[in-house]
A and B are shown apart, each in its own frame.
Chain A
Amino acid sequence: MRATAPMLLAQGVHKRFGALEVLRGIDLEVAPREVMCLLGPSGSGKSTFLRCVNHLEQVDSGRLYVDGVLVGYEERGDRLHELHEREVCRRRAEIGMVFQRFNLFPHMTALENVAAAPVLVKKEPRAVAVERAARLLDRVGLLARSDAYPSQLSGGQQQRVAIARALAMQPKLMLFDEPTSALDPELVGEVLDAMRGLAEDGMTMVVVTHEIGFAREVGDALVFMDGGRVVESGVPRDVIAHPSQERTRAFLSKVL
């Protein structure tokens, strides 16, 4: 039904940690400019799936394509060969990721955090990277705090810098791993606002979240996961209002 090729395509993704099978065959499609929210209890595999997308974890079987390209592997015949580090880095650079615990570089100022990767990875001239970094910080409302170190920023401000840092690499796809879970309740709004702005600008996003309100208002698609499988997916408003699966209903009744 979709006219365009998917930005993210997952086919039968399996992942195990030792004896524990975390992902038991995930099939997903995210169209360009689409915002997909992943919901599910902890341990359901949603974060692991996100980490597989940019190859922070290796999949055991299945395929993950971003913009039609396998992320960490090369397909020869029907076997997957892990790519050389340089090529993995090149493909990762096209996927932005925002972490639950921000993971800003504490020894760099907000501006340096945002400008670092374009200079170090893309070999951009410093002036160009710094100018874009300032623009991105302005976009998340933190231009005035450019020279602050992460420790001098609130959690919400740190997360907004982290979003700007990921955007600095001009990614095709943004991954959010529970971006508001580590924040004080009154700081959640400013981060969600920044993400909403990003969605309105047409960024393709996959968001692991517990913010049902955000999923309903901003999400184009909602996927509910449990036990390493996709239990249910659809338009957020419908899934939240009328879950078809008992497992989804039980989960939603607890978090709503």
Chain B
Amino acid sequence: MPLRHPWRWVATVVVLVLAAMLVHSLVTDATYGWGVVGQYMLSGPILRGLLLTLELTGAAMAIGIALGVTLAILRLSPNPLLSGASWLYIWFFRGTPVLVQIVFWYNISALYPHVGIGIPFGPVLVHGSANSIVSSLVAAILGLGLNEAAYYAEIVRAGILSVDTGQTEAAQSLGMPRVVIMRKVVLPQAMRVIVPPTGNETISMLKTSSLASAAAVAELFYSAQLIYARNYETIPLLVVASLWYLALTTLLTIGQHYIERYYARGSVPSVPPRTFPELLLRSLGRPGARRREVPS
């Protein structure tokens, strides 16, 4: 006699009923305004907002990753001043809300009206007003990117520390200098630990970039807000924005799987599928492949 699982049946019924209620509401509730959703899904302002969201995410992640790797290497430096400075940066930028940081950069001209490049405490070579240099877009990129760098530094540091010290010693015994060891031996191995959270951070950044609306940047969410402020179709436009965010995060999740597989080369076992669609695809490809765990 196979083992019976009565509670699985109860749970299945509960989930099915809830799902049916949700579908019913989606179809019959007029407030969703599917007609309006369809009308705005591919409209100019929404697509322009979408593009800006992608640009913001890309720019902020680029700053976050570049500065984050630098901060992580500084943090592991034997020089206490450098590792201390890195620690202080991480402490500050992780310790304050990213929304506050964006608004802060947006208002930076109140603190430093003029910015310039020159010799410290000496003559200024190039200068301009902070207002013209730190536009709202730049404020949003700085706020998001500098905050991301603090989190990313900790991810990279964990990755570097996860690599066995024997690797460094073997590379040293072959006469490799420190920089080469870091680039060719340690970081490629640290990538296995760094890549999965990088995917998470990118997905998270895609959504966090909606905070740029606080700096009046017309990214996806702010574009939707601007439209429903005029036509009062609040719910349909929020649905439009949500559907686009969902579509983008799904794409990123699939991309992440392939990048993880690349950096897992040379290690067994290979990366298991993580997302529901991937599991679905795999189980379709090999019928019954995932049924082993059910005892019979």
Given A106-B267, A108-B266, A151-B266, verify A121-B176 contact (CB < 8 Å): yes
Chain A 69-111 against B: per-residue CB contact (8 Å), 1 yes, 0 no? 0000000000000000110011011111101010111111100
CB distance from A48 to the nearest CB of B (A): 13
Point out the residue from A96, A101, A150 that lies within 8 Å of B166, measured CB to CB.
Answer: A101
- CB of A5 within 8 Å of the partner chain: no
Bound complex: CA A121 to CA B188 (Å):
18
Bound complex: CA A116 to CA B164 (Å):
19
Given A95-B173, A165-B174, verify A149-B266 contact (CB < 8 Å): yes
Bound complex: CA A151 to CA B89 (Å):
39
Q: Which A residues are CB-close (under 8 A) to B111?
A: none
In the complex, identify which listed stretch (B177-185, B271-279, B287-295) lies at the interface while the others stay far away: B177-185
Interchain CB contact under 8 A, B177 and A85: yes
- Chain B binding site: helix, strand, loop or mixed by DSSP? helix
Interchain CB contact under 8 A, B268 and A92: no
Interchain CB contact under 8 A, B167 and A121: no
Considering the complex, give the chain A residue whose CB is closest to the CB of B263. A107
- CB of B213 within 8 Å of the partner chain: no
Tier of interface size on chain A: 20 to 34
- CB of A230 within 8 Å of the partner chain: no
Given A103-B167, A120-B184, verify A89-B177 contact (CB < 8 Å): yes
Interchain CB contact under 8 A, B166 and A99: yes
Bound complex: CA A5 to CA B294 (Å):
71
Q: Which A residues are CB-close (under 8 A) to B166?
A: 99, 101, 103
- CB of A117 within 8 Å of the partner chain: yes
Bound complex: CA A105 to CA B189 (Å):
9
- CB of B39 within 8 Å of the partner chain: no
Considering the complex, give the chain A residue whose CB is closest to the CB of B188. A107
Interchain CB contact under 8 A, A121 and B173: no
Q: Which A residues are CB-close (under 8 A) to B175?
A: 89-90, 92-94, 117, 121, 169
Residues of A within 8 A of B (CB): 54, 56, 85-86, 89-90, 92-97, 99, 101, 103-109, 116-117, 120-121, 149-152, 162, 165-166, 169
Sample 30 A-B pairs with CB under 8 A, ordered by A number: A56-B169, A85-B177, A90-B175, A92-B173, A92-B175, A93-B174, A93-B175, A95-B173, A96-B173, A99-B166, A99-B170, A103-B166, A103-B169, A105-B167, A105-B185, A105-B189, A106-B189, A106-B266, A107-B188, A107-B189, A108-B266, A116-B174, A117-B176, A120-B180, A121-B175, A121-B176, A150-B266, A162-B170, A166-B174, A169-B174
